[in-house]
Every structure is written in C-alpha cells, then in structure tokens.
Amino acid sequence: MAVLTGKIAVVTGGSSGIGLAIARAFRDEGAKVFITGRRKEALDEALVELGADVTAVVCDSAVPADLDVLYETVREQAGHVDIVVANAGIGIQTTFGEVTEEQVDALLATNVKGTVFTVQKALPLLRSGASVILTGSSAATRPPHGLEIYAATKAAVRNLARGWAHSSRQHGFRVNVLSPGTVPTPGLLDLLPAEAREQSEEATPLGRLGTPEEIAAAATFLASNASSYVNGSELAVDGGAAQI
C-alpha cells in the first residue's frame, strides 16, 4: 500500500522546484495534497501535471491573511491536516556592505515569518500524529558567500524545529527539518551562476548535485510512519557537502 494513503498534506511553495516534486511524491503515495504559490499561472501549470487529487491555493506565506484562506480551504475540503510542509522560501544574493533593508525584510518575511505562521495557523487542523516538515538548507551550516542573510534565515528555521519539538506532546505533532544541498531548480538557476554551481558540485563528496526527486523522497520518509520516532531532527540531503 502507498505509505501516505488517506493522508491530507499541505505543501507551501508547491508550484515548482522542490515543492512541486514533494507534492508529486505525496500524491503518488496516496495523499490528497494542497499546494500554494504566489502566482496563479504557475499553480495552474502545476495542476495540469498533478491532477485531480491536488488543490491549489494562491497564497503568499509571508501574509497571514493568505494563510487563513489556505487553511479555511483545507478545512472545508478535508477537515483536518496530517502533513504540513513549510517549504515556501526565497533566496536573494546580497553583498556584505551593500545589503539593503528591503532585502533583509523580504528574506525574513518569507523564510522565517512565513514558516512560523504556516505552522501556527495549521495547529487547529492538525490530526494527532501529524508530521510537520520545515524546509531548511545546507547553507545554514555552511553559508555561501553572498548568501549569508539567506543562510541566517535557514538557521532560524532549524532552531524553530528544535523549539517546537518541545510542544510535540501538547499539539500531537512531530516536527523536523529537511535540509537540501544544491539542487538545480528554477529559483537556484536564477540565484547561482553556472560557475558557482560547478564549484558546489565539485565540493560535494558524491560528486554531483541533487535532484528535486531525491529531496521529495526524503520528505516522504519524514511524512510517513517510517519516521514516527523522528522529532526535532534535521535530515541533510546534500550529498555530504555540509557534513564533512
């Protein structure tokens, strides 16, 4: 039997890249999936691929009112949530000495504030035993040059999971961080030049970059009962790049 049969999953930032791969994997494992994105056009394209078991909601995770609309949709259509993947995030290249207030505000709003309210607003709908997955990054351990602020937001995400794990008994969930390494996605291709991607590939012990599907497989593990005693942890899926 598919490992997520009958589960209800929410994946923010699910219209492309890693989020889309996670939504696809969850669907293939039997879950009913709700995805979000800021652009309706991208969500419509994702739905063409994902099909009828997936619902798309236009939502900016940095806007709490948008999250209210998301979870009201989930409540009306499903009644509860078993899996929350707080995946929506942005990266901005910033040069130390030239960082702007707008850049900092944007990174904190989506990557930290968005993660906080994606999870907090899900609490009333979470079914006992729910799995909460926060998308981190290997950059939190080894911040690349020019991505220091982004890396700091992902370090904050790691610590949110550590703190929230203390609430597991009270709220009936377990929470973990999924931290990808360098994975070619539309967002990454815009962020890192080809030379930087080649350097990352060379620095990875496995000698290659990851794929969205490999990250999605790890997310499926964290969402499933196979990880029922995993809580407050970080699962690094980075080919060893930030581990040695």
Contact 131, 174 (CB under 8 A): yes
Is 154 an active-site residue? yes
**CA of residue 5 relative to chain centroid, distance:** 21
Question: Sign of dihedral through CA atoms 222, 226, 232, 236?
Answer: negative
Give this prediction's pTM. Answer: 0.95
Catalytic residue, chosen from 40, 113, 150, 229, is: 150
Contacts (Cβ under 8 Å, ≥6 apart) of 145: none
**pLDDT (tens digit, 9 = 90+) per residue, 11-64?**
999 999 999 999 999 999 999 999 999 999 999 999 999 998 899 999 999 999
Domain extents for the chain?
8-236
Tokens of 152: 């700091």
- The reply to whether CATH 3.40.50.720 applies to domain 8-236 is yes
**pLDDT (tens digit, 9 = 90+) per residue, 73-131?**
999 999 999 999 999 999 999 889 999 999 999 999 999 999 999 999 999 999 999 99
Task: For residue 198, count other CB atoms closer than 10 A to its CB.
Answer: 12
Contact 78, 32 (CB under 8 A): yes
**pLDDT (tens digit, 9 = 90+) per residue, 133-155?**
999 999 999 998 899 999 999 99
Is 150 an active-site residue? yes
